[in-house]
Amino acid sequence: MSIHIPYGESHIVLELENVNATIVEPLFVEGLPDERSSFLSACSWPTGSASLADIIQRGDQVAVCIPDATRPFPSDRVLPWLFEYLSFVPSENIVIINGTGSHRGNTRKELERMVGCEILENYRVVNHDAHDPSRLVHVGDSEFGYPVLMNRDYVEADRRILLGFIEPHFMAGFSGGYKAAFPGVAGIDAIMQYHSAGVIGDPLSTWGNLHNNPTQEHVRAGGKLREADFLINVTLNRDREITRFFCGHPIEAHESGCAYVKESAMVGCEAPFPIVVTSNNGFPLDQNLYQTVKGMSAAAQIVEKGGLILVASECRDGFPEHGNYRKLLFDYDTPEALLEAIHEPGFSVFDQWQVQLQAMIGQKARVEIQSSIDSHALRRAHLKPVDSINEALRNELDRIGKDAPIAVLPEGPVTVPYLR
C-alpha cells in the first residue's frame, strides 16, 4: 500500500506496506459541473444580501480584494466571471488589491499566475503594503481598543468586494470572510494587536471554532470598521476544483460556508497517535516554512504527547522574506525559552504569532521535516531535518514497535482531525 503526499507541484510516495496506518482526509466533494454558471447564479441569488448587480452602480469605484500567492484561491477563473457579471462597470473604475496582510508583495510573474495576463493588462492590480503609512488610512478603533488603518484604495472605494477560500484555520477557526480585509488590507500595527500572545494562545482560537473565538472576533471587529459590500467565497476539493460558492453578506455567507466545510473537512479520531505524517498540501500552501506551521498544527491535534510529527513540505522559498519569523526561532535555544519570552509583558515582535504556535507544537511533540531548506537552518528553527519521510517513518517504527498505529494527513491543514 502507498499514498501520494503533495510536495510542491509534485508529490512524495509514502510507502505503507505492513504499516498500521489510518488515512485521515476530507470527504471528497465533486467539483461543480459548470463553475461559471454557478458563480453567476450565486451573485444573483446571494445569502443575506441583495444581488451584486443591485449593489454596484455603473459609476462606482470598486475595490476587489483577492488572496495573495500563498493561498490556492482561483483568482484566474473567478475574476473574469466577476468582471463579466459587472460588465456595466468600466475597467478603469476597478482596482484589484492583492491582500497580502503582513506577507511580502507578489512579483509580476506571480501576479500573472494568480490573476492571468489578460486581467493584469486590463485592470489596475496593486500589492497591499501593511508597512507603508502613506498607503494606509485610519478607519476607526477596534472594539478591542486599538486603532485600525487600512489600504487607501480599499477605504476610498465606493464599493468593496472580498474574495476568499474557506478552509479550517488554525487560529481563526476558518479562513475566508472578513479575513480578506483584516488582516488582508490592514496596517501592521493592527495586525500585531490581533496576533497578540493572549489572543493566539487562547484555547478557543483554534481549528473549526467560530464560537467565542478571540481571533475571529478581532478579524470581524477590524473588518467591519470599513464594511464590505459583498463576499465571494469558495470551497475547493483536492483537485482545486470549486465545489461551492458562498456569496452575499460578509458574515452570513461566510458562516454558511464554514458550516459546510466543517461537515466535510473535520475528521474525528478515537485516540491520539504516536506518529502523525502530514503535508502542507503542496504548492502554493507549502511555499515556505512559516505557512508549514499550519500542517504541523493539524497533525498536533491528534499526536500523542512526546510523539512524532513527520512533515513533507517543499518550502521552495525557505523562510519567508517578511518579518522576524526566522530571527525569533534562531534567537532562542528551545521552544520553552521562546514561549517564556513571548509571554513577557510588553513583548511585541512581528511574526511572533507563528513562532508561538510552532513553539507550542514543539513542546508537545518532536517535529521532523523533509524540505528543500538547509539542514543547519532547520535545526536552528528547532526542527529535525530528514532526507526522506519514508526512512524517518521506518526508523521511528523500529524504535517504538512496527505495529504502532500511525495517522497520515495527505492534505495536511485542509483536513482537520480532532479527538472525539
Q: Which residues is 65 bridged to in the sheet? A: 97, 162
The share of the chain scoring above pLDDT 90, in percent, equals 85
pLDDT attached to residue 339: 92
Produce one character per residue of 20-53: b if its CB has 16 or more CB atoms within 10 Å, e if not.
ebbbbbbeebeebeebeebbbebbeebbebebbe
Residue 197 pLDDT grade (very low, low, confident, very high; cuts 50, 70, 90) = confident
Q: What is the value of pTM for the model shown?
A: 0.82
**DSSP H helices in 47-196:** 52-55, 75-85, 108-115, 117-122, 152-156, 188-194
Predicted confidence (pLDDT) at residue 195 exceeds the cutoff of 90: no
| Alpha-carbon distance values, 228 to 22, 84, 356, 390 (Å) | 42, 20, 31, 47
Q: Is the pLDDT of residue 236 over 70?
A: yes
pLDDT at residue 27 above 80?
A: yes
| pLDDT average, residue stretch 213-227 | 97
User: Residue 215's pLDDT is what?
Assistant: 96
pLDDT exceeds cutoff 90 at 250: yes
pLDDT digits (tens, 9 = 90+) for 28-45: 899 999 999 999 999 999
**pLDDT tops 70 at residue 60:** yes
Model confidence pLDDT, tens digit, residues 316-375: 999 987 678 999 999 999 999 999 999 988 888 878 889 999 999 999 999 999 999 999
Predicted confidence at residue 35, as pLDDT, reads 98
Chain Cα centroid distance, residue 71: 6
**What residue segments make up the domains of the chain, in order of their start?**
2-26+270-419, 35-264
The pLDDT score that the predictor gives to residue 72 is 83
CATH class in words for 2-26+270-419: alpha beta
**CATH number for region 35-264:** 3.40.50.11440
Q: Is omega for the bond preceding 410 within 30 degrees of 0, making it cis? A: no
Q: What mean pLDDT do residues 249-261 have?
A: 97
Q: Which helix (H) or strand (E) holds 247?
A: strand 242-248
The reported pLDDT for the residue numbered 47 is: 98
Mean local confidence (pLDDT), 6-12: 96
String of DSSP letters for 49-63: S--HHHH--TT--EE
Q: How do residues 263-284 score in pLDDT, each as one tens digit?
A: 888 899 999 999 999 999 999 8
Per-residue pLDDT of 381-391, as tens digits, reads 999 999 999 99
Give the strands of the sheet with 384-385, arranged side by side: 21-23, 406-409, 273-279, 303-312, 366-370, 384-385
- Quick check: do 2-26+270-419 and 35-264 share a fold? no
Mean pLDDT of the chain: 95
